[in-house]
């Protein structure tokens, strides 16, 4: 069913009522498949996800926090040509962010040049001054980056960058497996680029940054444990990569600042740690002394260059939404190139003129906390009452540096199976960019998140959004 709002770009239907080329075969399938078949297949998918343990914990909710993320059985389709354009832009962007992180923990040339204000760095809670002068193995900071994008009027623009511990890749892989099991006939109608090699690519990139290349590097996945919302993903990726899943007590650091894993065959040296623990809890000796999740002495081993940690300690400074504004300038400064991917126009509360604009146009803007994530703490002006806007403005007024605002984007829509049948719903996209000593690789596709409620622009899983399989077609 085409989108009735002609101001919103629909990825399947062109404005003249014709179907876009990438969706031609999918249209026939949608028209010839009874709604009852879709409902039955969706139930089968939910059974499969529960059997695999693909659940998502939502903190702060009463009752059992484990629930399924809604899965939409109608795939999203991207052309090979469109993907190549996006791929070049993502690689360029992540190279610039890696250069920024290396610089900001060294000479801070971008600050000296006046491109990024020093006060933004100093005020950033995720910036760790103690890491200045510490060079990670192979000088790679952002080994795994999630570049969140939305399609507006047919072009993809970047909403934010995730280079701390981006999650969601297990859902990308799980969605593809489910789709192939449920609708094998649909795959026979399309030539779809594979995503199942992601774990192999991740393992290769992690091994490439090992400080010890004289033998096969040992990689482990460090998890805070089974009560973490993304624990399934930690266990899933460790299993798919063929590496050990460990918790803090499974590791120790000896007097030579070398990290070891406790095993039944004695201590085994660890070269690379893919950590899914926040910086503050990594090492009680260096950061939060009350942490029981991390490894005492780990930062010392990292400083000594005896272990690689992915992603690097202190990356959160580049996740900051105030830093996001300057990524296009990073591309120009470090790479000497014009940015391929555009940012969303952003107003910063710390700038007097921008703050006035935010106040005068609050009901037309989306306002976010600079350090926020997961869709929490944001205001969607057009969907809020006057009273809600007034209350939110008081928060901005009390801490203007803590907020940014963006125009309410007309996010593209994709066909989605909902209660009343197949209907357009808003989507975003998180591709995963892998960086190592041997270069950058990007698995074609990514995690498409979909707002299951009609008209909603909030796609975050923590806010009730769902996911769908993302297809990149072969040419």
Which two three-digit tokens encode residue 248?
């803090």
State the Cα angle at 316 between 315 and 321, rounded to 5°: 130
CATH of the domain at 363: 3.30.1490.270
Lookup: tokens for 415 = 């066909």
Sequence-ordered alpha helix ranges (H) in 105-225? 109-112, 118-122, 169-182, 184-187, 198-208
Structural domain span for residue 167? 21-211+307-342+409-472
Q: Between vectors from CA 311 to CA 275 and to CA 97, what angle results, nearest 5°?
A: 165
pTM of the model: 0.93
169 and 103, same structural domain?
Answer: yes
Domain boundary (380, 407, 434) is at 407
How many domains, the chain? Answer: 2
Question: Is 418 a member of any domain?
Answer: yes
Same domain, 434 and 359: no
Verify that 206 and 349 share a domain, yes or no.
no
- 135 shares a domain with 147: yes
pLDDT in tens, the chain (475 residues): 566 666 789 999 997 889 999 999 999 999 998 889 999 998 998 888 887 777 655 544 443 445 678 889 999 999 999 999 999 999 999 999 999 999 999 999 999 999 999 999 998 889 999 999 999 999 999 999 999 999 999 999 999 999 999 999 999 999 999 999 999 999 999 999 999 999 999 999 999 999 988 889 999 999 999 888 889 899 999 999 999 999 999 999 999 999 999 999 999 999 999 999 999 999 999 999 999 999 999 999 999 999 999 999 999 999 888 899 999 999 999 999 999 999 999 999 999 999 999 999 999 999 998 876 656 678 988 888 999 999 999 999 999 999 999 998 889 999 999 887 899 999 999 999 999 999 999 999 999 999 988 888 778 776 678 999 999 999 7
Measured at the CA of 305, the angle between CA 303 and CA 309, to 5 degrees, comes to: 80
How would you classify the pairing of strands 466-472 and 447-450?
Answer: antiparallel
**What is the C-alpha separation between 11 and 21, in angstroms, rounded?**
10
Residue 254 lies in a domain: no
Based on the domain organization, do 118 and 66 belong to the same domain? yes
Long-range contacts of 27-31 (CB under 8 A, 24+ apart): 29/183, 29/186, 29/189, 30/74, 30/415, 30/422
């Amino acid at each position: 069913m085409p989108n009735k709002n002609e101001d919103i770009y629909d990825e399947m239907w062109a404005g003249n009522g014709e179907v876009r080329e990438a969706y031609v075969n999918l249209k026939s399938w949608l028209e010839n498949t009874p709604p009852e078949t879709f409902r039955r297949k969706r139930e089968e998918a939910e059974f499969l996800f529960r059997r695999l343990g693909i659940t998502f914990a939502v903190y702060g909710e009463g009752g059992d926090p484990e629930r399924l993320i809604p899965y939409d059985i109608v795939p999203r389709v991207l052309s090979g040509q469109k993907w190549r354009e996006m791929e070049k832009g993502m690689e360029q962007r992540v190279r610039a962010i890696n250069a920024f992180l290396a610089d900001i923990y060294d000479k801070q040339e971008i600050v000296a040049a006046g491109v990024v204000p020093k006060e933004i760095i100093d005020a950033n809670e995720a910036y760790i001054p103690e890491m200045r002068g510490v060079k990670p193995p192979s000088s790679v900071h952002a080994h795994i980056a999630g570049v969140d994008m939305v399609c507006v009027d047919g072009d993809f623009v970047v909403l934010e960058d995730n280079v701390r511990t981006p999650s969601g890749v297990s859902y990308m892989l799980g969605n593809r497996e489910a789709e192939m099991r449920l609708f094998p006939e649909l795959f026979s109608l399309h030539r779809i680029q594979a995503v199942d090699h992601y774990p192999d690519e991740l393992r290769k990139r992690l091994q490439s940054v090992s400080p010890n290349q004289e033998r096969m590097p040992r990689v482990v996945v460090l998890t805070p444990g089974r009560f973490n919302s993304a624990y399934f993903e930690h266990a899933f990726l460790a299993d798919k990569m063929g590496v050990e899943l460990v918790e803090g007590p499974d590791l120790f650091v000896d007097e030579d600042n070398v990290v070891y894993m406790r095993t039944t065959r004695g201590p085994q040296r660890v070269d690379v740690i893919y950590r899914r623990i926040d910086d503050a809890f990594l090492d009680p000796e260096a950061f939060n002394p009350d942490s029981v999740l991390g490894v005492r002495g780990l930062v010392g081993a990292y400083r000594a260059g005896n272990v690689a940690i992915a992603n690097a300690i202190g990356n959160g400074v580049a996740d900051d939404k105030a830093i996001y504004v300057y990524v296009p300038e990073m591309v120009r400064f470090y790479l000497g190139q014009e940015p391929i991917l555009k940012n969303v126009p952003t107003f910063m509360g710390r700038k007097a003129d921008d703050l006035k604009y935010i106040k005068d146009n609050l009901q037309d803007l989306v306002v976010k906390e600079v350090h926020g994530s997961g869709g929490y703490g944001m205001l969607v002006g057009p969907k809020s009452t006057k009273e809600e806007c007034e209350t939110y403005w008081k928060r901005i007024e009390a801490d203007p540096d803590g907020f940014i605002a963006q125009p309410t984007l007309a996010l593209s829509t994709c066909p989605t199976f909902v209660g009343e049948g197949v209907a357009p719903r808003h989507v975003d996209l998180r591709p995963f960019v892998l960086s190592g000593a041997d270069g950058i690789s990007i698995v074609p596709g990514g995690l498409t998140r979909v707002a299951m409620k009609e008209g909603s622009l909030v796609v975050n899983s923590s806010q009730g959004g769902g996911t769908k399989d993302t297809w990149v077609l072969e040419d």
